């Protein structure tokens, strides 16, 4: 039986797997590319991205999440604000407790490390790299969030995310 230790694994998370707050959202396709589109409105919203990578109860096995790349487009009018992408480590409930989530320390790529860069009219691919990656235990999971504030005519289209990780099985 073989052993796998691959440091260059990636998983695409399509736009239909995210959840977004506030506003009217529609899954759409244009030129064979799917996106989750928000109807223009002057309001804040949050995009929630589940990161479905493997966990393992044995130490140093399963997945070690290294980074997450979030992909969106802003059209018509720039956003009022787009906060720094956050990655959360979720601790899953056991009897008598609730799930908890804590932000992990990340570094954002140089094209998105300021608010002014993230809200512009453009196609965005923002990479958040975890400072201290860890092997995911079987009672843990990850998710990412992008908190946005749209202007009255801002069009926001979500194209998905990419989770980059080490796989050891």
Residue-wise pLDDT for 51-62, tens only, equals 999 888 888 888
Q: Which candidate, 156, 155, 12, places its Cα nearest to that of 72?
A: 156
54 or 163: which leads in pLDDT: 163
Q: Are 102 and 145 a contacting pair, CB within 8 Å? A: no
Lowest mean pLDDT among 86-90, 93-97, 160-164: 93-97
Average pLDDT, the chain: 90
State the residue for tokens 């493997």: 54
Sorting pLDDT into bands at 50, 70 and 90, what band is 125?
A: very high
Tell me the pTM.
Answer: 0.91
Query: In this prediction, what percent of the chain has a pLDDT beyond 90?
Result: 61
User: Residues 57-84: what's their mean pLDDT?
Assistant: 91
- pLDDT of 93: 79
Query: In this prediction, what percent of the chain has a pLDDT beyond 70?
Result: 98
Lowest mean pLDDT among 6-10, 87-91, 118-122: 118-122
User: Residues 66-73: what's their mean pLDDT?
Assistant: 95
- pLDDT of 79: 87
Q: Are 13 and 162 a contacting pair, CB within 8 Å? A: yes
Q: Are 115 and 83 a contacting pair, CB within 8 Å? A: yes
- pLDDT of 121: 86
Specify the CATH architecture of the domain 9-159. Sandwich (2.60)
So where are the chain's domains? 9-159
Q: Which candidate, 114, 165, 123, places its Cα nearest to that of 141?
A: 165
CA distance 114 to 108: 9
């Amino acid at each position: 039986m073989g052993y796998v230790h691959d440091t260059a694994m990636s998983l695409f998370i399509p736009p239909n797997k995210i959840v977004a707050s506030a506003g009217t959202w529609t899954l759409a396709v244009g030129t064979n590319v799917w996106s989750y589109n928000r109807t223009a409105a002057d309001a804040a919203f949050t995009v929630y991205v589940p990161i479905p990578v493997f966990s393992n109860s044995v130490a140093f096995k399963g997945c070690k999440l290294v980074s997450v790349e979030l992909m969106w487009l802003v059209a018509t009018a720039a956003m009022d604000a787009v906060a720094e992408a956050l990655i959360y480590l979720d601790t899953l409930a056991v009897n008598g407790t609730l799930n908890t989530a804590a932000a992990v320390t990340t570094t954002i790529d140089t094209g998105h490390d300021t608010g002014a860069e993230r809200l512009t009219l453009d196609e965005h691919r923002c990479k958040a790299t975890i400072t201290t990656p860890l092997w995911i235990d079987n009672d843990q999971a990850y998710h990412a969030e992008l908190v946005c504030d749209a202007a009255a005519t801002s069009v926001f289209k979500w194209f998905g995310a990419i989770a980059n990780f080490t796989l050891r099985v």
